[in-house]
Structure 1
Amino acid sequence: MTVDATRRVEPPPLTFIIVRHPFARLVSAFRDKILRGTSFYRPLAKSMMMRHTELYEQHPADWHDFLKVKSLDMPTFAQFVQYIIDERKHRRPLNEHWVPMNDFCTPCPNRFDIIAKVETLDEDGNYIIYKSGVQDIIRPRVLNKAEGKSSDKLTEYFICQLKEPQLMKLIEVYKYDLEIFDYDVQKYLDCVRAKNSSDSKAATSRKPSRKPR
């Protein structure tokens, strides 16, 4: 039964959707499906590495320590992002774990009563429970706040590895999710621009000076 058909039932049920910042969702998919993925995802990971070998150099210096990975024989986050940008450009379907939510669940035509966010799931989840009148069946709960902070740091860690042109293309891929669900990207733009500026200055300082003749 479709969402619209369900809503025509009397009395109409409460409908809701739980969303997450597209970049946090993207980083989670990269870590779970590509870095720690099963054999199902290994051919795809290899393909990502082969497509844009120039982006392989974007492995951060603290890659091993930060992620506790044993090998660099895996795509960089930049390669993963470029794969998604390329697939979108050529109108090929994206994997369900990183397809934009707007494509996956069509939130606009379905008119959900509540749009809950992972970032505020304590409040939003409890509101859904009470609004549905099932608080005697499903007990309201409090989530571990530390988990959210860790997720935020991980998202920044990966997104800030990108170059600004690539980040702008990534924003374009998820622009409707960002607009519909009111998510901001300014802090990611700021950190990418700051990092790129720092890298540019460092590269300039490493160039040998030319002595006047």
Structure 2
Amino acid sequence: MGNLRLFRLCLLLGSVFMLFLIILYWDEVGNAGLHLRSSPPAPPPPHHVLAAVGGPPPPVTPRSPAVSTSTQLTMWTSEDKGYAFVWDTDAFDHEVMADPDPPETRPTKDSAARLRQRPVLKPPGGPRESTAPPPPQESELAPTQARPSRPPTTTTTTTTTTTTSTPVAYRNQTSKPTPAQSRVDIYVKPSSRPALPAPPTPPFFSLLQRQAKRRRHLQEACAADSGLDFPGKLRSFDQIPSQALDHLIVDDRHGVIYCYVPKVACTNWKRVMIVLGQKLVAAAGGIIINNGGGGGGGGDPDDPNAAPTPYRRPQDVPSDLSHNGTLHLTFNKFWRRYGKASRSLMHAKLRKYTKFLFVRDPFVRLMSAFRNKLAQPNEDFYRQFGARMLRRYANVTQPPSTAREAFKAGLRPSFADFVHYLLDPETEKEEAFNEHWRQVYRLCHPCQIGYDFVGKLETLDEDARHLLHILDVDRQIQFPPGYRNRTAASWERDWFANVPLEDIRRLYKLYEPDFRLFGYPMPDTLLHE
């Protein structure tokens, strides 16, 4: 009987002791959670560490009370000449959620994953270089968070530099901490740190917001109550004839659909599509068209014994071959390849693939088309269009039969003649506009196809890098450099100087859908002179 009582007493004492330990454990867990949420200050570094790195860190700027101080998320951000780790998770959520996509303009599931599930931007341009830059000044150093458990390595300098420049400010901070609660950031001179490539400009989140704004603007302009009306606006995709889908290039290897618009860097983008699809192979003695999309690799085209090698750099693809129709699989070819299943396959690819196009100011695009096709002795365009313009609008009854003879005799269509040709009702009764001056809404059908990426020639370099990053090919492919003699919008006044004002207004009405769909302003300087 005594042993039973002793056992019960021990059991009771053990239970009380375990309860006491549980209370202490949860108290510690609560304190730890409070510690994580309130971010208490890290212990200040020793004085000799501060002296070794050039003095105490710059003061932090006050934070607005809208964003909390959560675990920081590393983002590349241009900060003068250095780098700053300035993004935190709450700021990231606030930045993305501040400009959400409308349901109608959200990308497809797969493309959305590429657009939004990669918040940390990889530094473009390949792997980081291993050479270290010269030591910057104090104002150029980027702050790094102090880690008490593993103090950073410091470099002792023999000279002491006194900085008088404005200290680097921390962004996305919500409250001004007291001196006892403020974090201590240690500035380490990167004498042994490898050089980092320059981040893209504008920052990555600005590029995402730019695309969200362009897609939203396009969706609003395509709405039935937008006040914009043009032929075919409200028809469905299945109502578009297959012949009108010949500008939609499909790359099944990477899940990409590109609608090319002539005179909007389409030659270089076609080169990119050829490289992505590996449709052009360099071999000994010539070039092979690889319709299978595969190809050998690693060989030397100059070596007769080398294996065929697909082109790896878009700029190496000959420009004339980039326009070869056999190199591109377009939607209008689906009927011959897939028969009755072609429309179902089109819908499936439109839902799954990343769809993009590049546009340009409509008037500047017309000027560029005229410069390239009619203001120069282009035999094909002269016989098909130039001679007709001379007969109808320049009072030349018998124009020369070749462009070379006409230009030698000083006979060439003017830009005013070209505008008259576009406005003539008989023009499209004979045949549809040539693709170089056909409206973008007739080439790419933006109200029937929900494009995931809308690039513009005015921001070509930034948009090209951003798109290649989204497609996850930015480390393998670089967009070719653009032309230096590109037609500029500042030339409009000179080019339209001899065009009657009434014709300019009629021309704007003809291309008004392109202006409004893609957010280009009305050329008031031309329309109200």
TM-score (norm 1): 0.70
Normalized per residue, which structure has more helix? Answer: 1
For the residue of structure 1 that corresponds to 2:454, the secondary structure is strand
Q: Which runs of 5+ in 2 are unaligned?
A: 1-329, 332-345, 396-406
Q: Does 1:15 align with 2:352?
A: no
Aligned length: 173
| TM superposition shift of 1:161 | 3.0
| CA distance in 1 between partners of 2:460 and 2:361 (Å) | 13
For the residue of structure 2 that corresponds to 1:6, the secondary structure is helix
Match of 2:371 among 31, 35, 60: 31
Q: Paired residue for 2:497?
A: 160
After superposition, what is the alpha-carbon deviation per residue over 1:141-167, rounded to whole angstroms, capped at 9, x for unaligned?
A: 7757x655x523444421333221000
| CA distance in 2 between partners of 1:174 and 1:105 (Å) | 14
| TM superposition shift of 1:121 | 0.6
| CA distance in 1 between partners of 2:412 and 2:349 (Å) | 44
C-alpha change, 1:147 and 1:4, in structure 2 (3 Å) is farther
Kindly report which structure 2 residues correspond to 1:99-178, keeping only aligned pairs within 5 A, or say none: 99-139=438-478, 147=485, 151-178=488-515
Letter of the 1:120 partner, please give it. T
Higher CA-based Rg: 2
C-alpha change, 1:33 and 1:136, in structure 2 (3 Å) is same
Kindly report which structure 2 residues correspond to 1:181-200, keeping only aligned pairs within 5 A, or say none: 181-189=518-526, 193=529
Coordinate RMSD, CA, aligned:
2.7
Q: Does 1:51 align with 2:372?
A: no
Q: Which runs of 5+ in 1 are unaligned?
A: 55-68, 194-213
Identity fraction in percent = 27
Kept in 1, the 8 Å contact 2:350–2:449? The answer is no
Match of 1:84 among 410, 416, 422: 422
Letter of the 1:26 partner, please give it. L
| CA distance in 2 between partners of 1:124 and 1:51 (Å) | 41
Higher relative contact order (CA 8 A, sep 6+): 1
| TM superposition shift of 1:88 | 7.3
For the residue of structure 2 that corresponds to 1:110, the secondary structure is coil
After superposition, what is the alpha-carbon deviation per residue over 1:46-67, rounded to whole angstroms, capped at 9, x for unaligned?
A: 211221237xxxxxxxxxxxxx
For the residue of structure 1 that corresponds to 2:488, the secondary structure is helix
| TM superposition shift of 1:137 | 1.4
For the residue of structure 2 that corresponds to 1:41, the secondary structure is helix
Letter of the 1:74 partner, please give it. R
Q: Paired residue for 2:516?
A: 179
Kept in 2, the 8 Å contact 1:88–1:173? The answer is no
User: What stretches of structure 1 move > 4 A for 4+ residues in a row?
Assistant: 87-92, 140-144
Q: Does 1:6 align with 2:349?
A: yes
After superposition, what is the alpha-carbon deviation per residue over 1:144-201, rounded to whole angstroms, capped at 9, x for unaligned?
A: 7x655x52344442133322100001001101111101112335426x71xxxxxxxx
| CA distance in 1 between partners of 2:394 and 2:481 (Å) | 44
| CA distance in 2 between partners of 1:4 and 1:17 (Å) | 18
| CA distance in 1 between partners of 2:418 and 2:451 (Å) | 32
Letter of the 1:84 partner, please give it. L
| CA distance in 2 between partners of 1:124 and 1:147 (Å) | 20
